Amino acid sequence: MLLINAPSENRYFPGMLPPLGALYLTAVLRKNLISTDFIDLNLSRNWIKELRVSINSFKPRLVGISSNISNTRQALTAAFIIKSINKDLIVFLGGPGPTARLEDYLSGSIDFIIPFEAERIITDFVRAQDRGLIEGVIRCNDGQIVSGMENLERMPVENLDDLPFPAYDLLDIKGYYETTYKRRPIVSMVTSRGCPSNCIFCSRAVSGNKWRARSAENVVDEMEWLKKEIGAREIAIQDDNFTLDQERAQKICELIKKRKLNISWQLDNGVRVDKLSKDLLALMKESGCWKIVIAPEVGDKKEAKYIKKGISFNKFMEASSWCKEIGMVYHANFIMGFPFQNKESLEKQIDFAIELDPLIVSFAKLTVFPGTELFDKKKKYKRRDTFNDFSDKNNLLGKMFCKAHFNFYFRPRKIIEIIKTIGIKLFIRGALFVTRAFFRGQANGKV
């Protein structure tokens, strides 16, 4: 059995962390005594060559490919290569990509697709004589769905403490990095799954709306294992809602301190500021957390209400003031290109980002995911003053995307602050990323 993580298509992304979904599946299979190897093709300079060598060396009967929306093309190419080596190999796909956009993965090189969380069914799938009969598995043939759609139901892991720790022992963790970090090697981790929020743009395709949390003891056990057995010096927690249960978050911090782990950690995927207190933030800092990410997304209260963020702008300003007082680094995420936005609202977005004054800000162009409320609504936005048509010849989005990066980053005070906080090496890497983003924006429309 071989599991692989398809290489990313996005050459400009400033971070690369271990693929937790595939590592969890590998750990589950090994726990159930199924011999399983894993390779992350993101770490390879010549991933096609490495894939061919791995197939010929491991000689698996089944090959699973983990894919997200940034590597759809590479995942399909990998499946084609595998079949070209041995047409009798069983190839199946899983991950956020096939779960959110099933139709993009219907290829003649793919035999099965397993959407959603797969830990509960992966062992039965691998051992089955007729894998298409396993509930939750989609059988494909010649790029068409043959069966399984009638059983396409989410089967989440209810007790996350039952899962083994991800199979980090199969990776060289020195190859991973994040946008900003204090120490390397750095690894990723999840302490909860699911999100009960209702943001209209956010895909919860894999883990759903129900929030499920690991116990504080189980979380800190893994942190200790990652440090002592795997060699990690920093952990990037990928939860959507780490502080949803503030008592649990507090207990995690207290256990980290009690065990004297002396490890850096960061909330890399964002934290809801309405589920945060000054006292909890201070305790997080004491236990080794040095960075959080907050996500206003827009810069206008009316738009914030429309996207159902459910957080007042005062909360973001309050959280930013706490961070400055405590000495916690904070980044901020914004999305540009909602179909109801115009130049005036994007100007407000840029102004609010500067007022919020995070160390780093991410301006991302909107991706509309199937299954989101925005996906269902987008057809009604056909007016010329919207971004529903990205080919608009005036290309306002390209201009404002470019302007946002320029106005925020090209300020002497901000440049000095970033260098002092993260060092010259990460500053140069980040500057290259911002410069590429800037010129990609210019390619669409000059400021």
* Nearest alpha carbon to residue 201 among 120, 132, 100: 100
**From residue 274, how far is each of 301, 302, 343, 364 by CA, in Å?**
15, 18, 29, 23
Measured CA angle at 89 (ends 103, 206), to 5 deg:
35
* Nearest alpha carbon to residue 120 among 89, 160, 151: 160
Return the pLDDT at 66. Answer: 96
Return the pLDDT at 18. Answer: 95
Residue type present at position 160: L
**The pair of three-digit structure tokens given for residue 392, joined into one six-digit string:** 């608009």
Return the pLDDT at 393. Answer: 38
Q: Are 232 and 186 in contact (CB under 8 A)?
A: yes
Return the pLDDT at 392. Answer: 45
pLDDT block averages, 10 residues each, the chain of length 447 = 89 79 98 97 94 95 93 95 96 93 92 95 96 93 88 88 98 93 96 93 86 98 98 97 97 98 95 96 98 95 90 94 98 93 94 97 89 76 42 70 94 96 89 73 48
For each of the domains in the chain, give its residue range(s) and CATH number, in order of start. 2-151 (3.40.50.2300), 172-444 (3.80.30.20)
- For the beta sheet containing 112-114, the strands, ordered from the edge strand earlier in sequence to the opposite edge, are 37-40, 2-5, 62-66, 90-94, 112-114, 138-141, 144-147
